[in-house]
Structures are given as C-alpha cells and as structure tokens.
Amino acid sequence: MGVIVGDALGCPVQFTERENLMKRGLVKGMEGHGTYDMPPGTWTDDGSLTLATLDSIRTLNTVDPDDIMTRFVGWYEEGEYTPFGEAFDIGNTCAKAIWCYEHGADIHTCGGTSERSNGNGSLMRIMPVCLYAYEKKLSENEAVKIVHEISGLTHNHLRSKMACGFYFFCICAVLNGKGSLKERLQQGMDNGFAYYEKDSCYKEELSLFTRLKFLTLFAELQASDIKSTGYVVDLLEAALWSLLNTESFEQCLLKAVNLGDDSDTIGAIAGGVAGLFYGYDNIPGQWLQVIKRREWIEEMCCK
C-alpha cells in the first residue's frame, strides 16, 4: 500500500519542475487534478504494474515472467489494474516492451537494452518480486537472478537491473534488521555493494551508484544535490535521500514528492520502503480514505 499511496500523492504534480512546484506551493496532502486532471487518490502506471506483478505472484505462488507480462498486456490494452479502467502515464520503454511481447517476440528480448532504456519503469514495480524472494528465503544468487529477470521484462540494461537489486537488498535489510531506518538501509547498501563487487561484469555500472555507498554522507546532501528525473539512478537516490532525512511515513512521502519532476515514482519507491518500516497503521488515514479501489488493493495485498 505504501507504493500506491506514494504514487497517488505525487501524481498531481508529476513533471512539475522543482522551482515551479515551490512557486505553486508544496504538496501538503492528497490532491486532485493537476497533471492528469484526476481526482485525489488516483494512482498511475507505477501502482498498476506493481499490482499486476503482485497479483501474478500471489495467484501462482511463484514468479512467472510470461504470466506477469500477460497481465501487463491486460493493463496496457484493457485497463486492468487501474483506478478507472483505462491505462495512462505509460512510459515509452514499457510500452515498447509490452507491444513486442504482445506481437510474439521472445520474452527475453522485449526489454530495452540501450543506454536510454534506464528509466524508472522496472524499479517502480519490483517490490512484489523483492518481497517474494525475501519470504521464500531464496539465496542471494537466486533472488538477484529473479529480480534482474523481472526488471529485464521491460528494462533489460544492466544498470536498471542493478538498481532493482540494490532496492531488493535494502528491503531485506529493512525487514531483517535492527536499529534505525538509516542503519538498516546502510546494511542493505553494504550487502548490495558486497554482492556486485564480487563479479567484474558489474564493475563499470557499479561506479554509477558510488554516492550511495556511504549513506551517512549521502544523507547530508542538500535537496539541490538530488536530481528527481526519470533516470533510474536519480530515482533510487531521491527515494533513499527522502527516507534518510525523515522520521515518519508522512514526512518521507511529502519530502519525496516535493522533489518534483518524477514525483509519483519517487513517492512510490520511497513509499514502499517507508510502508515496510513504519507500518500500515502509520499511513495517514486521510490519505488512505481517498485511495481509489482501496478495498480491492488491500484484499490483493492480503492474498
């Protein structure tokens, strides 16, 4: 639910540059209209693809790439897993991959592999896969393999896969760890770097995540040092920075979406982790009340 709430909170100001957002007035709660002229509590592709992935895993009790992609097609063509029966806010890389799969391409060749295919479209939906790997107590190698594979359905560049991998390690540390959120996230990043440093094939891409190696220093950066574009490394940094510099679910989500630009996805990624750490009961009730199809989402989460 943290993913959905973060997505909905950021939806009205998506693509609003930070400077313009500050002039307009920062987000203080669940708003409506804005970018897509939708009512308060409306979630976008981030939430839809996360729910499609979750439904597949919960229904089959396994991670089945073909079933997940089939559900993505249902979202893209029929508006399944959406607030109002129509897909919107569809990223180009995701759309191309889904189109290729729908038209018979091999599932392992659909995801974008170019440098320009490192948008947010796999990281924003990967949480259910991370939770599955954690719940099944998969080995690191097994877990990372699955996380990379499901990222690759749409975003098959190594950088996007590694961003999802780091997110997985952070989720495990948050669920496993003791101590503060900062301490748990640092443990997650330590585990991620230790994993990726073992294999030279990751070396070149690993250098792009260097700012996240020491989170105490990273947390001290000013907002002006944090980019909020749709680029996957920027997105991971923005979400972690928001988590590191707040002390509640509400504070975290507001800081995340008020970074502007790709606000819904930053909110979704930060919200997923914040939800795990702070718990459902600490999500503001007034936000939950307006989430579209809330009961259906809660039922799916409890499958």
State if pTM tops 0.95: yes
Mean pLDDT computed over 27-51 = 95
Q: How many domains does the chain have?
A: 1
Closest alpha carbon to 154 in 119, 202, 104: 119
pLDDT confidence bin for 141, thresholds 50/70/90: very high
Could you tell me the residue range of the domain that residue 239 belongs to?
A: 2-112+119-301
What's the rounded mean pLDDT across residues 157-184? 97
Residues paired with residue 248 on neighbouring β-strands, in sequence order: none
What is the distance between the alpha carbons of residues 282 and 240, in angstroms, rounded to a whole number? 19
Residue 297 φ/ψ, nearest 5 degrees: -65, -45
Average model confidence (pLDDT) across the chain: 96
- What pLDDT is stored for residue 90 in this prediction? 87
Residue 88 pLDDT level (bands cut at 50, 70, 90): confident
Residue 303, pLDDT > 90, answer: no
Rounded mean pLDDT of 17-36?
94
Helix (H) or strand (E) holding 235: helix 232-244
% of the chain exceeding 90 in pLDDT: 96
Q: What CATH number has the domain bearing residue 50?
A: 1.10.4080.10
